Every structure is written in structure tokens, then in C-alpha cells.
Amino acid sequence: MVTVRAPATSANLGSGFDVFGAALSKPADVVRVEPAEATTIEMAGAGSEFIPEDPEKNVAGAVAKALESPATIRIDKGVRPSSGLGSSAASAAAVAVGINAAYDLGYSREELVPYAAEGEALVSGEAHADNVAPSIMGGFTIATPEGVTQVDASIPLVVCLPEIVISTRDARRVVPRSAQVSQIVECVGRAATLVAGMFRDDPDLVGQGMEDGIVTPARADLIDGYADVREAALEAGATGVTVSGAGPAIIAACEERRRKPIASAMLDRFAGEGIEARAYQTRVGRGAELF
């Protein structure tokens, strides 16, 4: 039997819709995997009551099927579903890494990404890899059809998760179908700045690169209080603020010493709107770890 801790992740980071992702040092799912004749799944932890244990309907079952390796799987959720923090991807990543180790399949971390993405396809209808890639490989990742480019980075972050539920499917429906060339030019500049910031471990550049005028404004409308919470985080010293993944979590980049005041400011602002929330003082961190 193997145990895997796979981290939550933040996809898009504003300018990198469906491409960029970052592993978060916390929270994380912890998954136990044991080879078996047929796949069975047991769920526990945050929001697990909303996740089906039927292997045909659970990301873990889809990953085990894709790897042709049935297993007894127990998932302890640290990342609640529909949070914008790659909840399903963390489970999918953990199961892919766990089955690879338990069955000694010999896949590299990068080779496991498409298998874990099969789990994502079950949940969102599309096998995008921008959450599973960082959960498996760690750091900051650039996922394209050609493969994954990974950069070790350690940018301090605050992630604020309100008690609002947004499904990825719904959040994808509001994505604009087209954009002006001027918007695309701006987005390319932001995305390039963000990549440079990750390479340099520079929170100012990463924050600048997190701005986005195409997808994020449409999604921000789905999150009550977004504009106020973003403003509060910027006033408290965030270098950039955006929607984490499909939302409702909101992510801020910052200097290490600004994490605590930013977390308080974001929580206070949500509380002022009558919305319960929790904040994680986190950073770009490691990928899935085997125990």
C-alpha cells in the first residue's frame, strides 16, 4: 500500500487561462492506494459527502481505468470540491502517482499527467492539464498540447476561499468566445511577465502578470464580493490578485511578510459582505509526495 499527499493547485493565474498552474504548499489531499482485483473508492474529509464513491463517477476511478490498474483507494479530501483549487485534480494526481508506485509502472511524473487528466475530463468534460500538471510535478507549470514545462518557484501566496460553490462547467460557460487583438497583445505581455517572475522568484512580476482582461472579468461576476475583496488585498500589499482556477477562490501574490495582513483583509471584506470564508497563507510548493 502507498500513501500520497497531492497538493491543491491554482490554474490560470489570470493571464494563462487553461495553460498556467501552480502547486500550493497547502491545502492537500491524502490518498492511500493498494492494488486490487477491482477498483473501490472510499471518500473522507472536506466536502467528501458530495463526491460519489462509484468508480465510474469518481476521478480516481477514471485514472485507475486509464492506467489499467484496479486499486482499493481511500481519499481524504483536504481540498473541498468546486473551490477553484484543483480539488478533483489533487485526487487524480495522487491516484496516478500512487498507482504508478504501487504497481511499479515506471512512468515519469510528466508521463503521468495525461492519465490524471482523464480524471479531470470526467468532472469538467475536458481533459485539461493545468491543475493535474502542477499537482503531480510541483512548482509552476505551463501545460500545452506539446507537454508540460515546469519551473521550480516559491512565490508567497494567499488564497481566500468563500463559502460559495461554482462548478467548473458553469464557469466555462461564461468564458468569452472571442477577444480583440489589443486584448490578446496585453494578455501575452502579462503572461510573459508572469513566466519571468516565476523564473526570478519575483512576486512583483508575478503579480503584474496575474492581471487579465479577457476571462477573469466574466468569471469575477460569479463571485459575490470579488471586486471589494480584490481591492482589500491590493490595499494590504498584494502585488496581484485574480480568480483561482474557475473560482470562487481568490488568489493574491505578495511578499512573504504581507501574507498575514492580506489574509485578514480578504476575510474581513468577505465578512462585511456576509460571506463566510477561509484563507490559506501558502506559496508555490512541491508536487505529489509519496510516503
Binding-site annotation: residue ranges = 80-90
CB of 26 to ligand HSE, least distance (A): 19
Q: What are phi and psi of 166, to 5 degrees?
A: -130, 125
Would you say 65 or 172 has its CB closer to ligand HSE? 172
In sequence order, the β-bridge partners of residue 28 are 7
Would you say 73 or 243 has its CB closer to ligand HSE? 243
Instruction: Give me the count of residues in the chain.
Output: 291
Contacts with ligand HSE in 140-199 (CB under 6 A)? 168, 171-172
Would you say 8 or 198 has its CB closer to ligand HSE? 8
Site string for ligand HSE, 73-112 (x = CB under 6 A): ----------------------------------------
Show Cβ contacts of residue 280 under 8 Å, excluding neighbours closer than 6 positions: 24, 26, 27, 158, 159, 160, 161, 263
Angle 285-290-156 (CA atoms, 0-180°, nearest 5)?
Answer: 10
Q: Is the bond into 27 cis (omega within 30 degrees of 0)?
A: yes
Pick the closest to residue 48 from 24, 18, 84, 77 (CA basis): 77
Catalytic residue among 9, 39, 40, 168: 168
CB of 257 to ligand HSE, least distance (A): 30
Site string for ligand HSE, 5-44 (x = CB under 6 A): ------xx-----x--------------------------
Contacts with ligand HSE in 111-130 (CB under 6 A)? 124, 128, 130
- Enumerate the known binding-site residues for ATP: 80-90
Q: Give the Cα separation of 47 and 77 in Å (integer).
A: 7
The question of whether 186 is a catalytic residue gets the answer no
Name the residues that contact ligand HSE, by CB under 6 A.
11-12, 18, 124, 128, 130-131, 168, 171-172, 245-246
